[in-house]
């Protein structure tokens, strides 16, 4: 007996597909967004110590107090606002869980949720499972800046939530102070909630400032702000993140969280609490660390037929491959992986309807120099 699917548009994610293809064909994997270098040594030592000290049972549903206090202090240090560690911070099993919990907490059947394309692929399934409708508004196809006129035109009496992502995956584009002003004007006087996906918050380049929603009282009072330890500390496989939201929203968020995962891997929570307090220089220096990788990789790409786009933040480099192939992006990325030995991610799976003729692929530069050099050696043969 075959059940009727609740997610008819969902198959295996493009990230899994391309990573599997990379394994099968021995390709350099610049597709899925994970670092191939080591986790900070202090974090490994702290995790080992926590496990050996017996901190291996259920954590409190909202996260251990020491970690929530560390997050509160870090938030104040970064954004000038200290959330209430007890009422406003919830530790989750990765940012994806936090996004799912936030949507399911307040989005109701029949509601509409505005998403900005290209957008991360976990957004719409959560909206679908809530019985709501995703309203897709395209970003600029080259700069990936929001078109606030189009976003305003998409707002309806059914609009329950607007989802934003800065720095943006897949492009690395960032909201400016003007974007924040436009966003504030858009939702002022409405009942629209925000979900602000800020998992790349510390990977910011060229002296720019991350315009976190947490900096702005009028925005944060109606927002779920989602962050990721995996992105900040090079340990995506640990699957730890958190959500900061005002008390009333956090209360609803936790109703979903407690019956979704209940709690999150306890020893790692102790390790992160120690790491945040002992080594703030890690997250403060993350932008410079990745900017060196970005700049080096870009210079290498300029010697190939691929044209690198501007990358303001995050650890992905978009490339225009129109000088190499007329294939659509999915076919091109398969060809690149199978025939040329470099795995990339096509952009079209991030869209409801990708721009006609777009020839752009995403490469991850959160890699060792040897990995990037091996990829460039193969890309030079295009």
**CB-CB neighbours of 285 under 10 Å:** 12
319 forms beta bridges with 308, 361
CA proximity to 184, closest of 152, 206, 141? 152
The answer to whether 141 and 116 are in contact (CB under 8 A) is no
pTM strictly above 0.95: yes
39-98 pLDDT, tens digit each: 999 999 999 999 999 999 999 999 999 999 999 999 999 999 999 999 999 999 999 999
- Which SS3 state, helix, strand or coil, does residue 42 take? helix
What pLDDT score was predicted for residue 14?
A: 84
- Which SS3 state, helix, strand or coil, does residue 249 take? helix
243-267 pLDDT, tens digit each: 999 999 999 999 999 999 999 999 9
Which CATH code, of 1.10.10.10, 1.10.1060.10, 3.90.1150.10, 3.40.50.1220, is assigned to 14-39+284-379? 3.90.1150.10
d(CA 337, CA 343): 5
- Tokens 């709501």, residue? 132
The answer to whether 297 and 205 are in contact (CB under 8 A) is no
Q: Is the pLDDT of residue 102 over 80?
A: yes
Residues 169-177, mean pLDDT to the nearest whole number: 97
d(CA 20, CA 18): 5
Q: Is the pLDDT of residue 13 over 90?
A: no
Q: Is the pLDDT of residue 8 over 90?
A: no
d(CA 227, CA 232): 9
- Tokens 């225009």, residue? 320
Measured between alpha carbons, how far is residue 255 from residues 85, 200, 248, 339, 364 in Å? 17, 26, 11, 49, 35
Backbone angles phi, psi at 60, to 5 degrees: -55, 150
Q: Is the pLDDT of residue 230 over 80?
A: yes
Sequence ranges of the domains in the chain: 14-39+284-379, 41-282
**CB-CB neighbours of 135 under 10 Å:** 18
316 forms beta bridges with 364
**What CATH architecture does domain 41-282 belong to?**
3-Layer(aba) Sandwich (3.40)
- Tokens 């309203």, residue? 135
């Amino acid at each position: 007996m075959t059940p009727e699917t609740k997610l008819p548009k969902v198959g295996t994610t493009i990230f899994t597909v391309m990573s599997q293809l990379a394994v099968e064909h021995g390709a350099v994997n610049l597709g899925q967004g994970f670092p191939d270098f080591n986790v900070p040594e202090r974090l490994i030592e702290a995790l080992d110590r926590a496990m050996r000290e017996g901190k291996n049972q259920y954590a409190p549903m909202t996260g251990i107090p020491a970690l929530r206090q560390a997050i509160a202090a870090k938030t104040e240090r970064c954004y000038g606002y200290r959330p209430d560690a007890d009422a406003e911070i919830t530790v989750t099993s990765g940012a994806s869980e936090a996004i799912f919990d936030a949507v399911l907490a307040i989005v109701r059947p029949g509601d509409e949720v505005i998403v900005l394309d290209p957008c991360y692929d976990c957004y719409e399934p959560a909206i679908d499972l809530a019985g709501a409708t995703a309203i897709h508004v395209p970003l600029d196809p080259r700069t990936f800046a929001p078109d606030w006129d189009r976003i305003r035109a998409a707002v309806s009496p059914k609009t329950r939530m607007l989802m934003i992502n800065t720095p943006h995956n897949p492009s690395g584009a960032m909201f400016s102070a003007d974007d924040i002003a436009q966003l504030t004007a858009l939702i002022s006087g409405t009942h629209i909630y925000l979900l602000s996906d800020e998992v790349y918050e510390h990977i910011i380049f060229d002296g720019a400032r991350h315009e976190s929603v947490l900096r702005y009282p009028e925005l944060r009072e109606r927002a779920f702000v989602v962050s990721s330890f995996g992105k900040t500390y090079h340990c995506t496989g640990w699957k730890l993140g958190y959500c900061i939201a005002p008390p009333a929203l956090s209360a609803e968020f936790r109703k979903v969280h407690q019956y979704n995962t209940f709690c999150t891997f306890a020893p790692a929570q102790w390790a992160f609490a120690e790491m945040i307090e002992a080594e703030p220089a890690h997250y403060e220096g993350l932008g410079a660390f990745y900017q060196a990788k970005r700049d080096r990789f870009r210079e290498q790409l300029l010697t190939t037929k691929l044209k690198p786009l501007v990358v303001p933040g995050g650890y992905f480099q978009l490339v225009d491959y129109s000088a190499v192939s007329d294939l659509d992006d999915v076919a091109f990325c398969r060809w690149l992986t199978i025939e040329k030995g470099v795995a990339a991610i096509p952009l079209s799976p991030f869209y409801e309807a990708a721009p006609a003729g777009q020839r752009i692929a995403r490469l991850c530069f959160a890699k060792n120099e040897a990995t990037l050099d091996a990829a460039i050696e193969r890309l030079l043969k295009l």
